[in-house]
Chains A and B, each alone.
Chain A
Amino acid sequence: MPSGYRPDRETDFAGFPSTTPIVIDNGASTFRIGWAGEAEPRVAFRNIVQRPRHRSSGETVTVVGDTDPALMKYFDCTRSAIRSPFDDDVVYQFEYMEYILDFGFDRLGATSEVGHPILMTECECNPSFSRARMSELLFETYGVPSIGNDTYLFVPLLSIVHGSFEVRIVDAKDVSSYFLKGEPVLGACCRTNVGGFHITDFLRQLLSLKYPYHSASITWEKAEELKKEHCYVALDYMSELQIFKNNKEEAEEKTRYWQLPWVPPPVEEPPSEEELARKAALKEKAGQRLRDMAAAKRSQKIAELEKQLSYLEELMEQLDGAEEEEATAILGRSGYLSQQEIKSAILKATQSLRKAKGESNGNEEKADASGVDKYPLVSVPDETLTPEQLKEKKKQILLKTTTEGRMRAKQRRAEEEALREKQEEERRLENPELYLEELRARYSELSDRVDQRKRQKLNGGKTNGNHNSSGGVGRGERLNAAQKERMRLLTSAAFDRGKGEDTFGTRDEDWLVYKKMSKDNDDDDDGNDDDESELARIASKIQDMDPTFVNKAEAVQQTPEPPKVRTLTAEDYRISIGIERFRCPEILFQPGMIGIDQAGIDEMVSISLRRLMEDEAVKERLCQSILVTGGCSLIPGMIPRLESGIRQFRPYLSPLKLVRAADPLIDAWRGAAAFAASSKFGRHTFSLADYREHGENLFHRKLKRGISTKRGDHPVQNGQNPVDEWEEQQRYWPSPRAPPVSPMGSPRTPNGSQKKPVLGKVKSKAKKWMHLLHHKKKPQEDMMWTPRAGPSADDSKEHNDADYGSPSTARHPHSSCESACAPEVFLEASSRQNSPLPSPTAHKEQPYFKVSSRFESEMKEANEMLRESKQLRVNTTKPKTVTFAPILEQGPEPVKNDWHSKELSETATEIFSHAYAIVCEAVLRMVSIIQGAMSSYNIDRRQMLEKIVSFKRYMMLKLAPGEGDKVLSEVITEAVLDMFDAWCENVERPLVQRAKEVYSWFLPERREELPPVPLSTHPCVYEDAEEFYSLEN
């Protein structure tokens, strides 16, 4: 899909019957909408919303999907980012979702209403709030008649397309990666929050950090494009890194370059000869004209002056020769007052004439000559002078003395200088090294001082590059020292006024403040000048003696010169993508690279396989058809890398086959469309009526029971309702009692369990106690647990637990159950029964420790063990545990109550023997499991025993049990030790064989046939203990 692509509106919306579902693949990156049964989605666009402001009208508009960048100039996008309704892979922003749905339905051609069922994909295990809000939106805003429920569980639905149970999907989707098995096993899902989005983002960030000048050109869209075009997955990441580190040529070969648009700057050609000549001629001509003009002006002036001079001379002649009266008349005519005046005018004219003619006017000699009579009045006695002249004389005297003083000082300084020079010369000759050293010290001292002063003036200057962004940048920081001082003065002046008596101005110095305050008062360099000149002098001296010396001042002078601006070349506009090509996709395999602490996709396969509690044969079968789909599976090299990654987790030489989906991008949509077109779809929807009845509670687990009990009057389609669908899922979620591999026939086989009805009864009791114990572990309920709870008191809990207790496989179909809650439990449990026979009762077992999907089968095993050894404890360990005294007292009571109603003929002995049989079974299983592992390593029995104990400790540690459980585990240890003691006496017998006998002896059917087994057991304190003991021996 090219960027800026806008989908057209479909026209045939009205042509579809209202039963045809609309299929929406609501992917985090792309939204695809189309009709069920078709091969391609009708409309697809990027799942994004922008809300820019229209420039001319100023209104906020909504733009969905990709846009043509050329048209975005009409919009002001500065305040609106591109937004997605998704957080990771969950829809959380339903306003944006609504815009997107609006656009999608509009493009599909919806006119009056969206009257079609909707099938919409979502992520695995979508949280219920997101699911509820989405259906609220679809039902209430769009009036959708029904929503496909099934896809509320899965994204790709490829199982339907491929029709095979074995399909396993590695969905490298845009945000997350998943694992599903064809018939989806939610329990075996695995998700890592890394996907194509992260790859693109990583690439964009890396490039814009590498090329900060071009970060504006490295947009999201461009990064996406680069990713699709150039990224690949390295088969071996480390060796690929080595190539790039050591092998330059190969790395160069693998590096791609992206040339940004670059226009070379216009090159200036050197001007040709003619050009130069022409320019010179032009210049010459202009110069000539100016010169001519100046010459003309001067000659004109000269002529004028000459004319005036001749006139004046003539006038003088006339005056010389004329009588008194005649002279006055001439003067009156000429405008001069006296002959003297005319004379001075003549002098002036002569001088200017001479100047105009370019002759030297002899001012220098005059100045020199006037040096003496500069102060003509000084030597004249006071009596002869007028008052004005006296004043003048005073002034002249002052001037004269100051000049003379200055001259004297100058002379004295020169003398001093000479003297010092001489002394230094002497010192130098005396000890040149010492002298040089001294000079250097002085130089550095002086230069430091000068530097400091400069810095103060410039306010500290620049710190080094690493820290220039740190520290405050307030107003104070920007002022230099002089400006700061000025501010200080101003503020103090402002605040001092009015404080006490105002004495400002009484002293002359006060007024100096104004001078300091004046703005251009930066020239306080007086002292500095001295220092600088001294510095220069010393520097020159040192340079004389030591030619290698570099004058710091000069060196500093050179650096501030701006470096010559290098003209930018095409190279600078070229973005190289080398290591990034495989570094970015690598985050799928090592999410730790971007700080996500989760397993990579290859490891996830092994986790999924582990969570899928099937035996090895099934896993092997699954591994032969692993389907890889999703956008990221298109990255070259993905399949081989994934294959090699998965192989590491599989047994040696086990078969493995990966297939990439034919079209990973729209496979999910196709799967959904095919599913929506199939007849199954009707059963997997829930309708507007359901929604109206239950509201969004339909999606919250808490009310599930309420719905399911109402099932009778609930409108159901084909006997299914959404909740049942959910229940149905649970069948595929393996029970905590997943079958461990046992070497011998255990009561798990239908045979064993059916021939032991009493065993079932004991187990049902045990279940109840375990249940109580379990509740004790929950802090919120029954903190102070007392075992007074009998079956009747327990009903409510039993009842509740039926809802979120783990579904159990029908291992003990004939277990008895409390009559009070039987119908309820039956209703709940029957849907989960795997047993082909409809059983009258079903019993629920609360797992001893809640089995999270984190812990695997060993945890289940632990539950098993603990559960059964609990019965042992109840029956055998009264003297040992004070803590459990209440249980022991209370324990048999419910049992007796039950007997009362069911089988009064049963004796306690039988119960105990069965209980012991269970312990034996448990221990045997432990032995067989551990021995199976140990025998190949040739470990002796002692070690094996230790292993069992440590295995138990490990479980204790892992499961963090309460106080009661610890005691319980001690009982197990005790039992294990006893068993081993017994076995140690007859070492010649094979261990398992012996144990088998021990076990089988307790089965009543074969009791007669087998000899009694000498076993040391705990002494029993019950009334039947004697009998029990005698039976044993």
Chain B
Amino acid sequence: MESEVVKTEMVLAATFPFKKVQIADKYPKGQSRGRQWKHLRLLLQAADATSLPPDRPNYLNIQSPPSIYPPKRYCDITGFEAPYVDPRTKLRYADPEVFKQIRMLPDEYVQRYLALRNAAVVLR
């Protein structure tokens, strides 16, 4: 280790005297242990929300419901209000200038713009 790295103590030590179980014992090195964790979505599914009494607050049912306002549509590129949708790329756009721009966009960028509002086509 370089001296300045050591000096700033930026690297976490392997063992700590205040721990009962050291991390190396818990997650032994060189042993492929796969994924030890699940994403929240899966965990919540596993917790089986239906078994919980619905009249008690839990993580899921305190979430806010969808808005009562009709969703506004904004241009994906400029952010202005967008009356139009390009049927080919499915991008929303505000005016013809933006439309030209959209048609020049490479496919990757189109998908990235769509991904911004969670509308991208995810191929698996």
Task: Please list the residues of chain A having a beta carbon within 8 angstroms of any beta carbon in chain B.
Answer: 6, 9, 54, 56-57, 61-64, 67-68, 71, 74, 87-88, 90, 92-95, 98-99, 102-103, 105-106, 110-114, 123-130, 140-143, 186-187, 189-193, 202, 205-206, 209, 212, 238, 241, 244-245, 465-470, 579-580, 583, 590-600, 603-604, 607, 701-702, 730, 733, 736, 804-806, 847, 850-854
Q: Are B16 and A593 in contact (CB under 8 A)?
A: no
23 A-B pairs with C-beta separation under 8 A = A54-B11, A87-B39, A88-B40, A92-B43, A94-B36, A98-B23, A99-B12, A99-B23, A111-B17, A125-B59, A141-B19, A142-B19, A238-B81, A244-B80, A465-B106, A467-B107, A579-B78, A593-B117, A594-B118, A598-B67, A733-B57, A850-B53, A852-B55
- Asked if B66 and A598 make an inter-chain contact with CB atoms under 8 angstroms apart, the answer reads yes
Q: Is the CB of A63 within 8 A of B62?
A: no
B68 cross-chain contacts in A, Cβ below 8 A? 599, 603
Contact A205 B116 (CB under 8 A): yes
B10 touches A63 (CB 8 A): yes
A112 and B18 CA atoms in complex are apart in Å by 5
Complex contacts, B80 vs chain A, CB 8 Å: 241, 244-245, 579
Residues of B within 8 A of A112 (CB): 17-18
Minimum CB distance partner of A648 in chain B = B69
Return the chain A residue nearest B22 by Cβ. A141
Picked from A57, A186, A206, the residue with its CB within 8 Å of the CB of B116 is A206
* A193 adjacent to B63 (CB under 8 Å): yes
Measured in the bound complex, the distance between the Cα atoms of B19 and A112 in whole Å is: 8
Q: Which residues of A contact B4 (CB under 8 A)?
A: 71
**Which residues on A sit within 8 Å (CB–CB) of B44?**
127
> CA A598 – CA B2 in complex, angstroms?
49
- Interface residue ranges of B1-29 to A (CB < 8 Å): 1-2, 4-5, 8-13, 16-21, 23, 26-27
Q: How far is the CA of A206 from the CA of B116 in the complex (A)?
A: 8
A385 to B52, CA, bound (A): 121
Given pairs A125-B58, A592-B67, 7 additional interface contacts (CB within 8 A): A102-B19, A105-B18, A124-B57, A241-B81, A245-B80, A469-B107, A580-B79
Q: Compute how far the CA of A191 lies from the CA of B23 in the bound complex, rounded to whole angstroms.
A: 34
A90:B40 contact, CB within 8 angstroms: yes
Whether B43 contacts A114 by the Cβ 8 Å rule is no
Check if B71 is an interface residue, CB within 8 A of chain A. Answer: yes
Residues in chain B near residue A6, CB distance under 8 A: 8-10
CA distance A597 to B65 in the complex (A): 8
Bound: A735/B59 CA distance, A: 19
Q: Is the CB of B1 within 8 A of A241?
A: no
Interface residues of B, count at CB 8 A? 68
Q: Which residue of A lies closest to B12 (CB)?
A: A62
- In the complex, what residues of B have CB within 8 A of residue A68's CB? 8, 10
Given A599-B65, A603-B68: A583 and B79 within 8 A (CB)?
yes
Contact residue among A57, A105, A579 (Cβ-Cβ distance under 8 Å from B79): A579
Once the chains bind, are B11 and A61 in contact (CB under 8 Å)? Answer: yes
Query: Do the beta carbons of B8 and A127 come within 8 Å of each other?
Result: no
Residues of B within 8 A of A804 (CB): 53, 56
Residues of chain A with a CB closer than 8 A to B119's CB = 595
- Is the pair B118, A593 in contact by a Cβ cutoff of 8 Å? no
Which residues of the partner chain A approach B54 to less than 8 Å between Cβ atoms? 850-853
Contacts of A141 in B (CB 8 A): 19-21, 26
A57–B2 alpha-carbon span in the complex (Å): 10
User: Please, how many angstroms separate the alpha-carbon atoms of A126 and B94 in the complex?
Assistant: 42
**Are A87 and B107 within 8 A (Cβ)?**
no
B84 interfacial contact with A, CB 8 Å: no
User: Is the pair A850, B55 in contact by a Cβ cutoff of 8 Å?
Assistant: yes
The answer to whether B64 touches A128 (Cβ under 8 A) is no
A599 touches B59 (CB 8 A): no
Check A854 against B65 for contact (C-beta < 8 Å). yes
If over half of B's interface residues share one DSSP class (helix, strand or loop), that class is named, otherwise mixed; here it is: loop
Residue from B16, B27, B38, B108 in contact with A92 in the complex, judged by beta carbons closer than 8 Å: B38
Given contacts A103-B12, A592-B72, A597-B66, contact A730 B23 (CB under 8 A): no
What B residues does A733 contact at CB under 8 A?
55-57
Q: Given the complex, which residues of A lie within 8 Å of B5, measured CB to CB?
A: 71, 74
> Contact at B63–A71, with CB atoms within 8 Å?
no
B62/A105 in contact, CB under 8 A: no
Given the contacts A205-B112, A603-B69, A54 and B1 also touching, CB distance less than 8 Å = yes
Question: Min CB distance, A8 to chain B, in Å?
Answer: 9
Give CA–CA (A994, B109) in the complex, Å: 71
Q: Are A95 and B116 in contact (CB under 8 A)?
A: no
Distance of A21 Cα from B65 Cα, bound (Å): 38
Q: B61: nearest residue on chain A (CB-CB)?
A: A853
Tell me the complex Cα distance, A124–B12, Å.
31
Indicate if the CB atoms of B37 and A95 lie closer than 8 Å.
yes
CA distance A202 to B49 in the complex (A): 31
Interchain CA distance A87-B46 in the complex, whole Å = 16
Q: Tell yes or no: B99 within 8 A of A by CB.
A: no
Task: Indicate which residue in A124, A202, A467 contacts B62 across the interface (CB closer than 8 Å).
Answer: A124
Closest Cβ of chain B to A718, distance in Å, is 25
Complex partner residue of B67 from A123, A600, A853, CB under 8 angstroms: A600
For A853, give its contact among B2, B20, B57 (CB under 8 Å).
Answer: B57
CB-based nearest A residue for B110? A466
Which residues from chain B contact A126 at a C-beta distance below 8 Å? 59
CB of A543, distance to nearest CB on chain B (Å): 33
Provide the bound-state CA to CA distance between A405 and B80, in Å. 77
A54-B1, A114-B18, A128-B47 known; A596-B79 Cβ under 8 A:
no
User: Given A62-B12, A63-B12, A579-B79, are A111 and B18 also a contact pair (CB < 8 Å)?
Assistant: yes
Q: Give B105's nearest chain A residue, CB to CB.
A: A466
Q: Does B104 contact A (CB under 8 A)?
A: yes
Distance in angstroms from B35 CB to nearest chain A CB is 10
Contacting pair B112 A853 (CB below 8 A): no
Residues of the A chain whose Cβ atoms lie less than 8 Å from the Cβ of B46: 129
B53/A469 in contact, CB under 8 A = no
CB pair B12–A469 under 8 Å, yes or no, is no
CB distance from B8 to the nearest CB of A (A): 6
Enumerate chain B residues within 8 angstroms of A850, measured Cβ to Cβ.
53-55
Assembly CA distance A593 to B82 (angstroms): 12
Q: How far is A106 from B14 in the complex, measured between Cα atoms in Å? A: 12
Across the interface, name the chain B residue whose C-beta is closest to A55.
Answer: B2
Give the CA-CA distance A908 to B68 in the complex, in Å.
50
> Which residue of B has the minimal Cβ distance to A141?
B21
Q: Is B61 touching A594 in the complex (CB atoms < 8 A)?
A: no
- Give chain B residues whose Cβ lies under 8 Å from the Cβ of A212: 109
CB of B11 within 8 A of CB of A92, answer no
A residues near B37, Cβ cutoff 8 Å: 92-95
Which residues of A sit under 8 angstroms from B94, Cβ to Cβ? 245
Please name the residue on chain A nearest to B11 by beta carbon.
Answer: A61
Residues of B within 8 A of A806 (CB): 53, 55-56
Residues of B close to A102: CB separation below 8 A: 12, 16, 19, 23
Complex Cα spacing A62 to B12, Å: 5
Residues of B within 8 A of A99 (CB): 12, 23
A297 to chain B, nearest CB (A): 63
Q: In the complex, which residue of chain B has the Cβ closest to the Cβ of A467?
A: B107
Tell whether A593 pairs with B64 under 8 Å between CB atoms, given A468-B106, A847-B55: no
Q: How far is the CA of A451 from the CA of B108 in the complex (A)?
A: 30
For A87, list chain B residues within 8 Å (CB).
Answer: 39-41
Whose C-beta in chain B lies nearest to the C-beta of A854?
A: B65
CA distance A192 to B65 in the complex (A): 8
Q: Which residues of A contact B21 (CB under 8 A)?
A: 140-141
Pair A92/B39 contact, Cβ less than 8 Å: yes
Contact between chains at B108 and A854 (CB < 8 Å): no
Q: Which residue of B lies closest to A734 (CB)?
A: B55
- Per the bound structure, the CA–CA distance linking A143 and B21 in Å amounts to 9
Docked complex Cα distance between A851 and B55 (Å): 5
Q: How far, in angstroms, from A127 to B63 measured CA to CA in the complex?
A: 13
The 9 closest A-B pairs by CB, nearest first: A595-B118, A87-B40, A804-B53, A186-B57, A62-B12, A189-B62, A852-B54, A595-B117, A806-B55
Give A242 Cβ to nearest chain B Cβ, in Å.
Answer: 9
- Nearest CB of chain A from residue B105's CB, rounded to whole Å: 8
Take A62-B12, A74-B5, A209-B112 as given contacts and tell me if A110 and B18 are in contact as well, using a CB distance cutoff of 8 Å.
yes
B40: A residues at CB distance < 8 A: 87-88, 90, 92
